[in-house]
């Protein structure tokens, strides 16, 4: 039986969960540079967790500066099979109140090309399916675990990922609302795309902190208000993560584990040897 390993991508503090055993700090080097910080591993009820604060300790890295490829590659290198994203978002719907959780199932990518969106370049072309950008099976597991510890939770919803670090204009916020999105944030893209290329089961919990700036009579979103809600959300996130081990299946039965099986279309003989070696944790079993 293979060991169940769950990656947690989020803010600082989660590796301080009560009950986490065999805590280790690991520095991981990747072909794409350094991850946001050291990764912290620990065990809880038979499941190994790998934690990484995507903005680094102290929140030193802006959304557009995050080395998403290095972060995902590091998770893969340490054996993660699942990846749970925890992120603060603005609510785009009246019924999603500040403090609510949303189990995201779709994305609209409005980032502007600054971020690297794929591992496949420089002599290797791969096209992964991305119609359903989260793992439905893992998302259901996360929803079940979260529902056991929180009352205000919404299953499903589209996450619009904007560039940032500035918040939206009111006109943009109203436009995005007209598209029917549920939440708006700055970090889940290209994270979800890269997780699929790395054959990780990806799920996302969006923690609503505000109503962005679309809501009449509501003050404009500001960093101090967001941070106040985030502090409360850290404790909620810890409770959800602690509830996860009971619901993680013994084996993955979804398509995520073979997302690259038919995705690589480059001539195997012409792929540069260094690229094959660099990407061995991702593509080694297919080459």
Cα–Cα distance measured from residue 226 to residue 275, given in angstroms and rounded to the nearest whole number: 41
Cα–Cα distance measured from residue 112 to residue 134, given in angstroms and rounded to the nearest whole number: 22
Is 212 considered catalytic here?
yes
3-state SS class at 259: coil
Specify which residues 207 forms β-bridges with: 88, 101
Roughly how many angstroms between the first and final C-alpha of the chain, as a whole number? 25
Is there a cis peptide before residue 278, judged by omega within 30 degrees of 0? Answer: no
Cα–Cα distance measured from residue 84 to residue 15, given in angstroms and rounded to the nearest whole number: 14
- Note the residue count of the chain: 287
Cα–Cα distance measured from residue 108 to residue 160, given in angstroms and rounded to the nearest whole number: 5
Cα–Cα distance measured from residue 213 to residue 169, given in angstroms and rounded to the nearest whole number: 7
Neighbouring C-beta atoms of residue 28, cutoff 10 Å = 18
Q: Which of 250, 76, 252, 65 is nearest to 163 (CA)?
A: 65
The single residue of 37, 100, 105, 212 carrying the catalytic annotation is 212
The single residue of 105, 210, 267, 278 carrying the catalytic annotation is 210
CB 180 within 8 A of CB 79: no
Cα–Cα distance measured from residue 184 to residue 221, given in angstroms and rounded to the nearest whole number: 12
Cα–Cα distance measured from residue 153 to residue 134, given in angstroms and rounded to the nearest whole number: 17
Cα–Cα distance measured from residue 200 to residue 6, given in angstroms and rounded to the nearest whole number: 10
Is 34 considered catalytic here?
no
* Catalytic machinery residues: 210, 212
């Amino acid at each position: 039986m293979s060991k169940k390993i769950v990656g947690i991508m989020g803010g600082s503090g989660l590796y301080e969960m009560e009950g986490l055993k065999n805590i280790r700090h690991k520095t991981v080097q990747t072909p794409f540079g350094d991850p946001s910080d050291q990764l912290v591993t620990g065990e809880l009820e038979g499941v190994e967790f790998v934690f990484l604060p995507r903005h680094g300790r102290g929140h030193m890295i802006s959304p557009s500066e995050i080395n998403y490829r290095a972060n995902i590659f590091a998770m893969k290198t340490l054996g993660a099979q699942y990846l749970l994203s925890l992120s603060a978002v603005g609510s785009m719907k009246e019924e999603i109140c500040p403090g609510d959780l949303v189990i995201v199932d779709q994305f609209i990518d409005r980032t502007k090309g600054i971020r690297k969106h794929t591992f496949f370049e420089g002599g290797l072309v791969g096209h992964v399916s991305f119609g359903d950008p989260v793992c439905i099976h893992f998302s259901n597991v996360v929803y079940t675990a979260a529902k056991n510890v929180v009352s205000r939770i919404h299953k499903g919803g589209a996450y619009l990922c904007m560039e940032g670090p500035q918040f939206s204009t009111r006109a943009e916020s109203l436009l995005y609302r007209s598209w029917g999105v549920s939440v708006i944030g700055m970090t889940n893209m290209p994270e979800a795309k890269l997780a699929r290329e790395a054959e990780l089961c990806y799920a996302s919990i969006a923690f609503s902190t505000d109503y962005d700036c679309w809501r009449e009579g509501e003050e404009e979103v500001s960093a101090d208000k967001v941070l106040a809600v985030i502090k409360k959300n850290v404790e909620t996130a810890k409770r959800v993560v602690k509830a996860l081990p009971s619901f993680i299946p013994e084996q993955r039965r979804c398509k995520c584990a073979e997302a690259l099986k038919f995705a690589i279309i480059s001539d195997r003989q012409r792929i540069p040897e260094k690229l094959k070696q660099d990407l061995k944790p991702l593509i080694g079993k297919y080459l």
